[in-house]
Structure 1
Amino acid sequence: MRTALRTAIATALVAGVAIAAPALAAGAALAADGPVAAPSAQAKPAAAGADASKGTLVRTETLLNGTVAKIYKADNGHFRAELFFQDNPVGVLDAAAGPVAGNDNGQFFVLFQDGRTLNWDRNYVPGARPGTYELADGTVLELAEKEGRYALQMIVDGKGRGFTHLNGFRQVFQFGQAVVVLEQDGGFAAYIPGSAKQAAPKPVENPAPAPAPAPTPGPVVTLGECTVQQVIPSVFAQLTVTLTNDLEKGPKAVLNDEAGKPILVLDRDHAADLGQGLTIKDANTTTPKLGQRTQGGDTPYAWTAFPKLPKGCEKDTATPTPAPSTTTPAPAGNTGTTTTNGQTSVIPQGGVAAGAEFGAEDDSTALIAAGAGAASLAAAGLGFVVLRRRAGVHA
């Protein structure tokens, strides 16, 4: 004789949660390898003279372990099951506020408030540890212990639908088509009505959390006629860099912390900060690039182009044509004459030309060194000067 069912059922008069299960054949007996039809001998019509104080006896069932269940209808939405083993009463299940269940060493009997019953063996995880479990039909449940009580919730698309805590010693839940019985120690069993595939809840490994999506650059914002700005991710986690490209002021890169507070600023005049691994390339052009790296040495930079200037903001790089000169260039070769302020001077030729100087011709005297003899006297250290005045005086 199994005493567990008698003891458990006798103390299992607990109220379960209301569930909307599909119609099931009354008196179905469920074997370990799937549902089977209950023999007619296991579902007997009510006997005449039944105790009216218990309600109306609607049938008698024999469970898989030999226990006899007498099913009474006490009222609409209220059924009772009196359980007997070898003609000895072993307990009562009262489904007044919701379905109730008994457990005999892993064999379960469930009575619904509309009179339906389920009876199955195994499909049970005794004393289950908190975690995620998959049922035979693919339903995923999470078992948790909260505030000293166990609770279950269904997981759909990786998200929980909300925990329902155990209320009492044992409780019946329904998740989709699956009927689940949760015990006070965390053990629970599951049955899929109408399915040939039955199994105990299977623990599943919690999948590794999906990596966070990589941060992406923000939109390019126009701040002025020829000024644009864009916020891009930093190579340092949770930091950002604000890139500003200005036709006149040039590029500017601002490294910001998690709160958006500036940490450092790079611009045309200060284009690199090796300590933070930032540098601006081509800072004197309209197409600069920002280099970032987390390590020094030979670690390569990751390059990001500054936002492109709007159309029409390109610099004019053409070389201007020089203005024509107002000075008439001297003719090629030495003609022996120069013109200064409209006056003409004759430049001596030959040996004398090398040391001769002439001033402009006017009323003052002019110094002339004449002939080869003057050159000879000068060579001998004798001073020889001839003064000639405009008036025609000759020395």
Structure 2
Amino acid sequence: MKNVYLLSNVADGGKTYLEYLIPALNSLRQKYNCVVLNTDRTGLSREEVEAVLDFPVKQIGNDFIASLKSQVVISNDAYAGRLLDHSNFGIFISHGNVGMPAKDKYYYAELTSYWDAIISSSRSGFDLITAGLQAYRRDRKALKTMLIDGLALRSDMRNTSPVATLPVKIPGIFESSPPSKKTSDDYVVGLLPTQLGICPNGATLYENLQTVINAVKSQIPHATFILRPYMAELSHPTVKALCEELSAYDWITIDKAGTSSTVFYTQCDTVITDASTGGVSFMLNTCKLPIYYVPFTEESNLTVDAWLKQMDTLLPIARSSNELKDMASGFSLLAREDSYYIYNKFYQAQYSDLPLPQEVFHDLIEYRHESKYCPLSIDSFGDINERDKH
């Protein structure tokens, strides 16, 4: 029986990122000898991981990852690709269910370029990953000084196949707008900043919280807020100070560490985010609409511009406080049917006809780059090689 190693290694990832492994494990455990690996970086003990996965877990360190040879490794962590021997076939499960308006013009190809296959849970994510890998490898070829790197055990100039699938962690499509469980006149706005360093300068939700809160309050005076900081940054001095400051207001709640995102989503009428894929996850889980606040900044950015073009008619995006005011006011009056129309349009554009991730994992293990789900691969020159479908 062939071995398949499933690695959980996201720093302070907790259960949120561990859950990305569940579809892979559940689809492969009957046919392959699955070995689940957990490192201390995740913040979870072996026992906690076993409880979530209902499967035996091996607690390991970097030396074990580096010792693997000629194996299939499926990881929820991109950085771990640098630790793998070149003989392994590495599959990285990218996070989120849509692309992000990130400032990184390579769309994190500095990390993902070490993988043989990248699972992307949307068409927009697939396109941004592909464009980022292309740009990164072309620059790597041109800038020879970038090639001096003794930390990685494998080359980041390998053939890499992005693969678009249905969302890894999200339930199926709503056939109609679900009935509202709200019985009061409360209006709860979730504030969902993404990880520090993701957004261009001046565009993070932390930098714009006063603008965002004032814009909503000017239209919906009775609105209350739940701030959900990025889980790995709760102890960051800036975030910590901000949370303490906001706690003084009785209409602002700071989400507790360890609260599942699903619970957070059910509490909110809308979610405002800067770049977090959690905004889309909120919509996919509840059929309610998020607002992406992506203010104009002085610097032009390739990835942000590409994302804005992708999402132009698909997601509610505010580029200024006035646009945010209009959206906040409109959202509070929106009928469930209108929300469903926007949700369904987004779902069809991003996910229609995409395969289940469970099917893709099995096919990738058996056929690797020749899998029927690999439409293309990107070579060391950044060139796209399309798979012959005949």
Higher helix share: 2
Superposition TM-score, scaled by structure 1 size: 0.19
Higher strand share: 1
Higher relative contact order (CA 8 A, sep 6+): 2
Superposition TM-score, scaled by structure 2 size: 0.20
